[in-house]
A and B are shown apart, each in its own frame.
Chain A
Amino acid sequence: MPKLDLTTLVAGVALIAVGTLLLLDTQDVISMGITGAVSSLLTAVGAVVVASGIARTRRRASGDLPPA
């Protein structure tokens, strides 16, 4: 049974979102600029950090990690 890793999964979904925005920018569908591109990337990083925190909390609750 494969063991799902929330952090990696969220990172993948976030990168798909960032890549889609960049693709739309290159096709002149939207205009992100460097500010928008960096902002979207930081948003993705934030999502990964949040997912990592949630995963750690779950592992701690299930006893896989010692309590903080």
Chain B
Amino acid sequence: MSTSSPPADPVGAVRRLHRSREDRILGGVCAGLARYFNIDPTIARIGAAALLLLGGVGIIAYLAAWLLVPEEGSDEPLLRTGIAVEHGRTRVIAGGALLVVALLVIAGRLIPDVSDDLIAPSILALAGILLLVGPRFGGDGAPVAPPVPPGGGTATAPPSAPATPPSSPPPPAPEDEGEAGAGDEHQGDEDRDEHPAGHDDGPGTTVVPATSTAVTRAVPIVPARTGPEAPASPTIPFPAGFTTPAYGGGGSEPPTGRRDAVPPPPRPPRKPRSPVGLVTLGALLVAGAIMAGVVAVNPDGIPWDTTLAIFTIAMGAILAVAGLFGRARLAVATAFSVTAVIAVLVGSNLHLTGGVGDRAYRPVGTEAVQPRYELGVGQLRIDLRDATLSKTVPTRIHAELGVGRLLVIVPDDVRLTVHADARAGNVELDTQYSGGTDVERSLTVGPVKGPRVVLDADVGLGSIEVRRGDPPWPTRDGDTSDDGASARPLTTGGHHA
């Protein structure tokens, strides 16, 4: 008869979300989510990295998940058990990150010279530095040795440890965690013993009280066997107070024929993880932080697209050097994901300066016409119908839009020369329409003797529309449109609304 039995998992039980212990980089949140949703952990990590761009929402969400989602093999979240049970590098990273983020926030409040733009690069730099130096703490994510209580006469056997027949000799080193203390790096993280020796781990664990000195090493679980089929006596003389709870298999009755039972095959030893991947990832983060810091400190210095191109070269150099020392597949995936975004941004020739929103200009007189109009994202509308344009000197206008719609309206009596360039989108010059990528069109229309306007229109992603006269304007499908009139109320004098 067994003294207790572990609760059996009910059939169809709700699948629980756990942080991963095997495939973690920081807290195992992304790997746990990936396992829960049965997707590649890299995808989850890329998504988490993307969330970092949303004003810190990703950081808060990650920290919340870290604190609230229990770790694999445990039902208690970190918020309840305390961060002290975390091991080695993870503890260093978590504690250091929280401290520095807190210091940055406090510094931003107290020191007016600290720009808010520096906080995000600093956090990136911090994460990179911690990844760089992380492998020096606690080895390669190896657990910190649990404290050995005075007396040392305790030992625990992991719940998953196979039961040993009473007649068999005590197993040697691999299960000897109680003596080793720090655990075996090759056993895998899931075999770590988080609790100090002497702690009752529940059913399936044999516990020797701390007062006992007869047993100073790990002892295999010996099931309590009663009845006539029970063996005569165990080979190990257990001292008084030694408890033998339920059989580790979970059943209420002890199994029969244990000597014939085939033990599960031993798990192959895990290769120690190479620190090259984490170091490379950390170097990438530090490089990104440096670039972001340079732009934040001197926004009028190097253009952002040039900075991104240089950052791409830096990422390549880091990977090339890392390749000389070992594998860094996660860093490769990360670098290429970032480069994909950079290639689209730089290739689109996006001009994200000038703000976000709708801008409408309707200059009156010659002086009010600006040589340059620009907008980052939104609709940019330039209406020259009320402007007084010179008949002797051409009026040159450069309109630049990152993402959105550029609408330019000129009077009918103007000799208009347009050069339009849309990296991805469409260009409508009067009645001509072109769409696709790298659309580049030129057009000259209007009376020869009229005032001359030379327009250079540049849009990254979106549309360029140049209309003449008053609406409605003809469209490419033979219809008419007065869409431009539905824009925001126009202002005069060259000021935007």
The B interface, classified by DSSP as helix, strand, loop or mixed, is helix
CB <8 Å contact, B323 and A11: yes
Contact with B along A2-41 (1 / 0, CB 8 A): 1111111111111111111011011100001111111011
Report Cα–Cα, A4/B324, bound state, in Å: 4
CB-CB < 8 A to B126: which residues of A?
none
Annotate B307-329 by CB proximity to A: 1 below 8 A, 0 otherwise: 01111111111111111111111
Residues of chain B contacted by A23 (CB below 8 angstroms): 306, 309-310, 313
A36–B320 Cα distance when bound, in Å, is 23
Shortest CB distance B242–A (Å): 46
**Quick one: which of A12, A19, A33 contacts B347, CB cutoff 8 A?**
A33
Complex formed: what's the CA distance from A4 to B325 in Å? 5
- Residues in A whose Cβ lies below 8 Å from that of B323: 4-12
Q: How close is B278's CB to chain A, nearest CB, in angstroms?
A: 13
- Determine the distance from Cα of A34 to Cα of B327 in the docked complex, in whole angstroms: 31
Docked pose: A47 CA to B317 CA in angstroms: 16
Assess whether B327 is in contact with A22, with CB atoms less than 8 Å apart.
no
Interface size range of chain A in the complex: 35 or more
User: 1/0 contact trace for B325-344 toward A, CB 8 Å?
Assistant: 11111011001100110111
CB of B332 within 8 A of CB of A34, answer no
Instruction: Flag if A34 contacts B336 (CB, 8 Å).
Output: no
Least Cβ–Cβ distance between B5 and chain A, in angstroms = 42
A37 & B319 in contact (Cβ 8 Å cutoff): no
Q: Which residues of A contact B349 (CB under 8 A)?
A: 33
Complex Cα distance, B346 from A49, in Å, reads 24
- Taking a contact as CB atoms under 8 Å apart, the answer to whether B318 and A37 are in contact is no
Could you tell me the distance between the alpha carbons of A38 and B323 in the complex, rounded to whole angstroms? 24
A5 to chain B, nearest CB (A): 5
Query: What residues of chain A lie closer than 8 Å to B492, measured between beta carbons?
Result: none
Is the beta-carbon distance between B317 and A12 smaller than 8 angstroms? yes
* Among candidates B280, B332, B344, B424, residue contacting A7 with C-beta atoms closer than 8 Å: B332
Q: For B310, B316, B317, B322, which residue has the most chain A Cβ atoms within 10 angstroms?
A: B316
A4 to B318, CA, bound (A): 14
Known: A19-B312, A32-B347. A12 touches B322 (CB 8 A): yes
A36 closest partner in B (C-beta): B347
Taking a contact as CB atoms closer than 8 A, the residue among A8, A15, A34 that contacts B313 in the complex is: A15
Beta-carbon contacts of A35-67 to B below 8 Å, as 1s and 0s? 111101100110010000000000000000000
| B435–chain A nearest beta-carbon distance, Å | 13
Q: Which residues of A contact B336 (CB under 8 A)?
A: 11, 15, 41, 44-45, 48
Per the bound structure, the CA–CA distance linking A13 and B342 in Å amounts to 17
Judged by a CB distance under 8 angstroms, whether B438 is at the interface is: yes
Say which size band chain B's interface belongs to: 35 or more
Q: How far is the CB of B137 from chain A (nearest CB, A)?
A: 22
Number of residue pairs across A and B with beta carbons under 8 Å?
A: 138
Q: Which residues of B contact A9 (CB under 8 A)?
A: 319-320, 323-324
Q: How far is the CA of A44 from the CA of B339 in the complex (A)?
A: 10
Q: A4-B323, A26-B305, A34-B438 are in contact. Are A14 and B342 (CB under 8 A)?
A: no
B326 touches A2 (CB 8 A): yes
Closest to B308 in A: A22
Task: Determine if B309 and A34 form an interchain contact, defined as CB atoms under 8 angstroms apart.
Answer: no
CB of B475 within 8 Å of the partner chain: no
Cβ–Cβ < 8 Å partners of B346 in chain A: 22, 25-26, 37
Q: Closest Cβ of chain B: how far from A12's Cβ, in Å?
A: 3
Chain B: CB-nearest residue to A23 = B309
Q: In the complex, A25 Cα to B312 Cα: how many Å?
A: 13
In the bound complex, CA of A2 to CA of B311 (Å): 26
- Kindly provide the distance from the CB of A16 to the nearest chain B CB, expressed in whole angstroms: 4
A37 to B341, CA, bound (A): 10
0/1 interface trace, chain B 412-429, chain A, CB 8 Å (1 if under)? 000000000001100000
Question: Would you mind naming 23 contact pairs between A and B with Cβ atoms under 8 Å apart?
Answer: A2-B326, A3-B325, A4-B324, A7-B327, A8-B319, A9-B319, A9-B320, A9-B324, A15-B313, A16-B320, A18-B339, A19-B312, A19-B313, A22-B308, A22-B342, A25-B346, A27-B306, A33-B423, A33-B438, A34-B424, A37-B344, A37-B346, A41-B336
What are the 3 A-B residue pairs with the smallest beta carbon separation, nearest first?
A: A37-B347, A12-B320, A9-B323
Q: A9-B320, A20-B313, A26-B309 are in contact. List 14 more A-B contacts (CB 8 A).
A: A4-B324, A5-B328, A12-B322, A15-B319, A15-B336, A23-B309, A23-B313, A25-B309, A26-B303, A33-B437, A34-B347, A34-B424, A36-B347, A44-B336
Which residues of chain A have a CB within 8 Å of any CB of chain B?
A: 2-20, 22-23, 25-27, 32-38, 40-41, 44-45, 48
